Structure formats: structure tokens, C-alpha cells
Amino acid sequence: MISNWPVAGIAADMLQRTLQTGRLAHAYLFLGPEGAGMLETAVYFAKGILCEQKEGKSPCGECIHCRRVDSGNHPDLVFLEPAGQSIKIQQIRDIQKSFSLKAMESSYKVYVLTRADLLTPEASNALLKFLEEPATPVVAILLANRKASLLPTVISRCQIMPFHRVSAGSVQEALQNEGLSAENARLLSHVKESIDSARKFSEHEKFAEILNLVVQLSEEVKSSRGNPLFLIQDKISKPGWANDEVESFLDCLAWWYRDLLNMTLQLQDRIVYHNQISRVQSQAASYRSDRLVHMVEIVLSAKKRLQSHANQQLVLEQMVLQLQGESS
């Protein structure tokens, strides 16, 4: 019955039931991480509201309304995108004005705020009254990543639909179906947030190199004889890696130390570097668990500094020195 929804889950269940019972609220807030299929669900839900065929309860996909939604030119479905950096008060005023008129073709009008977290404070406040008591039958769908970026007064006027990150297990499965090895798929599904970014990373030319470098660097850091600074210089600074490549590298490195931690705590089933399990085991033997916690945090803070445009080489070198300090 609900198989047609873009993403199955509690939100799809609830929206389906809403369509069936006709208990349509006037404002919905879709909350969830990127890549959880919120926009697709919003479009499908809008289709369900606008669809002519009221008996089937879910969009038929054949009537004129459904087809026009699909082709993106239904007059009663409006997408409000940020104009530049944010959604501005004028956009809200415009939509209030156009929505004060009756729907053209169907009984409802639907508007979708694709990035509700980008509303300016003025725009959110201007939205409040309209959100709570619209003059005409209107359904608002707001999409946002997290609650904190919205006004509490906005949130309290909406029904919240939680969207969940696609679980690591199913991402792994999907990647495996695309021909990746089980080990790599497992690693990618954990290190990257969504299936899209995982896929992109797996196709990246430096993917294999990054994984090798993680192992190499951690070995050098552990055995105090090698020179990890030289490795960084040789493999990253000289070829001139882009910042996002270095960030991916740091992500992988952080997960590597997390694996070591899980190994010291005998949580083997949580380890993501499956193909390196013997290395993980031998490295884990030389660290205490609180050290490893600190090392993960060192790597993460290096990534944070990198994101705030610190000098790449300095950040990496400082990180390596700190890691070595932890391991001695």
C-alpha cells in the first residue's frame, strides 16, 4: 500500500494515513539529515493532496494533476527556494499574497520551503501568522536538517515528520549491489553521511590512495622510528591535495583510530576496517583506550581547523606531532 513512497519509514506511514483519513494539517515540518529523501517525499505528498482521484487515497499518477506535478508546472504547488543566501521576507509576502486567492484547479494549495533553515529571522516571523491560520485551504511543507536552526514559534505550529538517516547497513547493501567489495562498502557506509557522498567518494581517483595512506601514517605514528612528517610532505603536500580530499583522509583516519578503540574494548563487530583487521589488532595493542579517544579528537579537531581555512600543511603537521605525543 505504501510501496510507492520514495522513502519508506515512519514519515511515509504517517503521511499515507493522513491522506487516507483526510486529517490534513496546515503545516508540516520534515526534519532529517541530507540524503534522507525529504524533498522526494514532499513532492509525492503534494501530489497526493492535489490528486483528483480521492477514492484511491494515494496519488494515481495518471490524472492531470499528478502529471502536472511530475512535469513541474502545477499552478497550486509552489517551491520556495532561497534567493541567494537565504529566504527573504519579500518572498514570504509574495507567497502570502498569491495564496490569499483561492486555488486555481484543486481544492488545496501547497507550498514547499526546501530550506526552511535558511529563513531570515524577519521572514520566519512574517511566516508565523500565515502558517498558523491561513485564510484559504493551504498546506505548508517545511524541510530542515535540524530543529535548532528554526524559530521555536515556527516549530510549534507544525506537525513534525522525522526522517532518519538511511542506516549504515542498507547503504552498505546498496553499495555492494553496485559492485563494491563488502569491506569497502562497509567502510564507506560509516565514514560518509549519505549514500550519494559515499558513492562519490568510492569513485574518487584518490580513494585507494587515501586508504593506503591511513594505514601507512598510523603505522609510522605508532612505530616511533619512521618519519610521518616526511610521509605527509611526500604524499599530500607535494602533490598538492585539495582540501576536500584531505578532509576525506582525516575522516578515514578518525575512523581508523575509532576502530583501534573498539578493538581494545573487544567490540570487534563494530570495526569498519574489516580488511585490515590484523593491522588494527597489532596497533591497538600498543595504545590505552583513553589515549585513543584523545587521538580521534585530535584528528577531528584538525579537520575542523582545516574547514576554517587554516594552512593545510601546518594543520597536518601539528596533528601528526600531537598523535605522536599521544603514542609515546
Partner 1 sequence: MSYIALYREWRPQSFAEMVGQEHVTRTLQNALRNQRLAHAYLFSGPRGTGKTSAAKILSKTINCENGPTNEPCNECAACRGITQGSIMDVVEIDAASNRGVDEIRDLREQVKYAPTEVRYKVYIVDEVHMLTTEAFNALLKTLEEPPRHVVFILATTEPHKLPATIISRCQRFDFRRISGRQIVERLQHIANEKQIEAEEDALWLIARSAEGGMRDALSIFDQVISFGGHKVSVDSIVSLIGGLRADTLASLARSIAEHDVQQVLHATGNLIEDGKDAGQILHDLTLYFRDLLMYKTVPSLEEIQDRIQYDKSFPQVADLFSPSQLIAMIEQMTETAQEMKWHNQVRLLLEMLLVRLANTQAADVQALWKRLEELERKVETGVNRHHRQSEPTGVPQSNREDAQENRVGMKNNKEEQPTPSDAIPASGSRQQEPVSASVSASASAGMGSETASPGRSLGKLLNNPNLDLFEKITSGWSQILDQVKRRKITAQAWLLDGEAVAVDSGNVIVAFKNQIHRDTVMKAIHKSVIDEVLSEFLEQPAGLVAILQTEWKQYKQQGAAELASTVDNDLVDEVISIFGREIVDIED
Contact residues for partner 1, defined by CB under 8 A: 9-10, 13-14, 17-18, 21-26, 31, 33, 89, 92-93, 96, 107, 122, 125-130, 132-133, 137, 146, 148, 152-153, 155-160, 162, 164-165, 167-169, 190, 193, 251, 254-255, 258, 261-262, 265-267, 270, 289-290, 293, 296-297, 300, 303-304, 307
Q: Least distance (Å) from partner 1 to the CB of residue 73? A: 25
Which residue, 44 or 163, has its beta carbon nearer to partner 1? 163
Which residue, 158 or 213, has its beta carbon nearer to partner 1? 158
Which residue, 227 or 307, has its beta carbon nearer to partner 1? 307
Helix (H, G, I), strand (E, B) or coil at 28: strand
Q: Least distance (Å) from partner 1 to the CB of residue 235? A: 22
Q: Least distance (Å) from partner 1 to the CB of residue 177? A: 19
CA-to-CA separations, 71 to 81, 107, 230, 284, in angstroms, rounded: 18, 20, 56, 56
How deeply is 55 buried, as exposed, middle or buried, from its count of CB atoms within 10 A (0-12, 13-18, 19+)? exposed
For residue 51, give the DSSP letter.
Answer: -
Q: Least distance (Å) from partner 1 to the CB of residue 179? A: 24
Strand order of the β-sheet with 109-113 is 77-80, 109-113, 138-144, 27-31, 159-162
Q: Are 70 and 82 in contact (CB under 8 A)?
A: no
Which residue, 81 or 122, has its beta carbon nearer to partner 1? 122
Cβ of 264: how many Cβ atoms within 10 Å?
20
Q: Least distance (Å) from partner 1 to the CB of residue 145? A: 10
Residue 255 makes CB contacts below 8 A (sequence gap 6+) with: 187, 190, 191, 272, 273
Which residue, 62 or 290, has its beta carbon nearer to partner 1? 290
For residue 232, give the DSSP letter.
Answer: H
Which residue, 149 or 223, has its beta carbon nearer to partner 1? 149
Q: Least distance (Å) from partner 1 to the CB of residue 193? A: 6
**CA pseudo-torsion sign 147, 149, 155, 158:** negative
